[in-house]
C-alpha cells in the first residue's frame, strides 16, 4: 500500500533534485490511415513495394488491412522529434503513392463489403503467418469493417531513474516491474483526474 498521496509525492519531488529525472520522458507516435483510390474508395492494391517490407520496416507497416498504413516513430526524449519524424514519413509515403492518397479521417472511406477488405499479407514465414491468422481472427470476431477504423496513438513513458526515485519516496515493496506496472495502471485510471499535472 502506498503511504503518500499524489500531493505529498509532488512536494517531495519539488523539494529535492528529483524533478530532473523527468527530463528523460520518452514519447512517440503511431498513426494509421487508409490508402484510397482517386474515387475515395478503399485501395485494392498491395502495399506499395517502394515503402519497404511491411513485415520488417521499423516505421512504415500495415495494421489490420492491406490498405491500412501504419506509421511508427522511434521513441525520443526530444518532444519535437516524433512529430517531425512523422511528418517526414508522411512526405516520403505521399511521394511513393502514384494513383492513391491517404484518407485523412479515422472513420473509413467507402469500403464496400467485408470481402472487399483484404487482410494485410505479410508473406509466408512463421511470423508473417501468425500476423495473418491473428487478423483473420479479429475479422471473424469483430468484422472487417470495424478493423478499418484508423487511429493515432501517443506513446509516453517515464525514465527508469524516475521509477527508482518514486519507489523510494513511496517506500514501495515488491519488484520494480510490479511497482512500475501498478503505477502506470493507476495513471491510466486517473488520467482525467490528474491530467492537469
| Mean per-residue pLDDT, 20-38 | 93
Is 20 a member of any domain?
no
**Residue 37 covered by a domain:** yes
pTM for the model? 0.84
In a domain, 96, yes or no: yes
Quick: pLDDT tens for 40-85: 999 999 999 999 999 999 999 999 999 999 999 999 999 999 999 9
| Between 190 and 65, residue with greater pLDDT | 65
The residue with cell 490498405 is 67
Nearest C-alpha neighbor of 22 from the set 155, 154, 153, 165? 165
State residue 10's pLDDT score.
65
The runs of H, that is alpha helices, within 97-175 are: 126-142, 160-169
| Domain span holding position 94 | 26-154
In a domain, 143, yes or no: yes
pLDDT score, position 116: 93
Residue 21 lies in a domain: no
What's the whole-number mean pLDDT along residues 27-32?
97
DSSP state of 41: B
Domain count, the chain: 1
**pLDDT band of 5, cuts 50, 70, 90:** low
Question: 117: burial class by Cβ within 10 Å (0-12, 13-18, 19+)?
Answer: buried
pLDDT in tens, 91-101: 999 999 989 99
Residue 61 belongs to some domain of the structure: yes
| 10 found inside a domain | no
Determine, yes or no, domain membership for 99. Answer: yes
Amino acid at each position: 500500500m502506498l503511504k503518500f498521496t499524489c500531493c505529498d509525492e509532488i512536494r517531495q519531488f519539488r523539494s529535492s533534485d528529483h524533478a530532473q529525472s523527468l527530463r528523460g520522458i520518452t514519447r512517440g507516435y503511431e498513426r494509421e490511415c487508409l490508402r484510397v483510390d482517386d474515387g475515395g474508395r478503399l485501395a485494392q492494391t498491395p502495399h506499395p513495394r517502394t515503402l519497404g517490407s511491411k513485415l520488417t520496416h521499423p516505421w512504415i507497416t500495415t495494421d489490420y488491412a492491406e490498405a491500412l498504413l501504419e506509421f511508427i516513430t522511434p521513441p525520443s526524449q526530444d518532444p519535437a522529434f516524433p512529430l517531425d519524424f512523422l511528418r517526414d514519413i508522411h512526405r516520403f509515403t505521399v511521394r511513393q503513392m502514384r494513383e492513391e492518397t491517404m484518407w485523412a479521417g479515422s472513420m473509413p472511406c467507402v469500403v464496400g463489403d467485408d470481402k472487399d477488405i483484404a487482410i494485410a499479407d505479410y508473406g509466408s514465414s512463421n511470423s508473417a503467418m501468425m500476423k495473418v491468422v491473428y487478423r483473420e481472427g479479429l475479422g471473424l470476431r469483430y468484422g472487417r469493417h470495424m478493423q478499418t477504423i484508423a487511429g493515432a496513438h501517443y506513446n509516453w513513458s517515464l525514465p527508469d531513474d524516475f521509477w527508482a526515485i518514486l519507489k523510494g519516496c513511496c517506500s514501495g515493496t515488491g519488484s520494480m516491474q510490479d511497482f512500475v506496472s501498478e503505477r502506470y495502471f493507476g495513471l491510466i485510471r486517473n488520467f482525467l483526474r490528474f491530467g492537469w499535472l
